Amino acid sequence: MNVMMAETVEQRVIRVIAAELKIGAEELVTGRFTLTSAADSLTKRDLIFALEIEFNQDLQEEEAVKLLTVSDVINYYTARVE
C-alpha cells in the first residue's frame, strides 16, 4: 500500500520559496540564506502571494516585513497552521 506522507510546514515553505526564487532547496536549508538578500521587491511580493496560496492565509504587510529568513517564514506559518 502506497501511503503519501503529508508535507510538514517546513517542507512546504522550502518548496514554495525555492520554486519562486528558482533555486535549489538545499540552498535554503543551510541557514545562511536570507530573503532580503535574494529577492527584489517584485519577487518578494510574488513570494508572499505564493505563500498565501499555499497556506490559504493572508499575510499582512506589517507581518511580511518581519520575515527576513527562511526560518522566520517557517516559524510564522508553523504557529498558524499546526
Task: Enumerate the active-site residues.
Answer: 40
Q: How far apart are CA 32 and CA 80, in angstroms?
A: 24
Q: How far apart are CA 65 and CA 82, in angstroms?
A: 22
